[in-house]
Amino acid sequence: MLTTIALAVLLQQGEIIALEKDPWAGFAVGSWVKLKSTRGPVVEEARITLAAENRFERDPAPEEGSASFPRVFVPYTRVIGILGLKQLGKGTETLKVGAKARVAEFGPADPSIVWAVRWRVSTSDDVPGGVGRVTIEVAGDKPGRVTLEAVAVEKLKVGTKDVPCVRFQYKRTIAREDGVEASYWLSSQVPGLLVRFVARSGKAEARVDALDFEAKK
């Protein structure tokens, strides 16, 4: 289980894609996706299969030091909960992809917390995973800003299939740290939702691509 600190660090590094919904919800046992992960010199392929409810099998099994995939998906409400934030406001908006969204704003329950974090989250049933936009403002010794947003609807080739996806853009700017930019493509047709993920920080790049899949309903 991820600790609060680890979760916050992964979020700031672009390793977490915050969702509202389980990325495997709606897919039946036996659904699978084959992924290719590239992290520096480490390149791997593996098939992730939903073997039972909330239980997955990976073929081949992971080895120590292996590249990670899929990326870490967590409900954004879990992140907000462990950070001790409370809801401060709500509203509605239209996302860049045209979807109508519900907006909720969160801030620290204890205003004396020096590393105060404020979230603005837009959720929509019309984007894969349910989260269409997030803005995170970080205060304290290393102030900064993290944003992710659904910016376009595109088709990507996965095996022989043309898959409609929503492209999300992620950007992190933290004082005295290298910036991180990432793009990821999610599709409700693909088990686990993830079709492609590309993150860059300085000269380093991490990438995940879906190579093939079978969706059982």
Structure tokens at 65: 């030091």
C-alpha 121/C-alpha 53 separation (Å) is 28
C-alpha 43/C-alpha 98 separation (Å) is 36
pLDDT in single tens digits along all 217 residues of the chain: 334 444 444 444 445 567 888 889 999 999 999 999 888 888 889 999 999 988 888 898 776 555 455 455 667 777 787 777 889 999 999 999 999 999 999 988 776 665 667 889 999 999 999 999 999 888 777 788 888 899 999 999 999 999 999 999 988 887 776 677 889 899 999 999 999 998 877 777 888 899 999 999 8
**pLDDT cut 70: percent of the chain above it:** 82
C-alpha 155/C-alpha 142 separation (Å) is 38
- pTM for this entry: 0.85
Domain assignment of residue 150, given as a range? 4-214
**What's the number of domains the chain is made of?**
1
C-alpha 181/C-alpha 185 separation (Å) is 14
Each residue of 48-83: pLDDT tens digit?
A: 999 998 888 889 877 655 545 545 566 777 778 777
> Coil, strand or helix: which one is 68?
coil
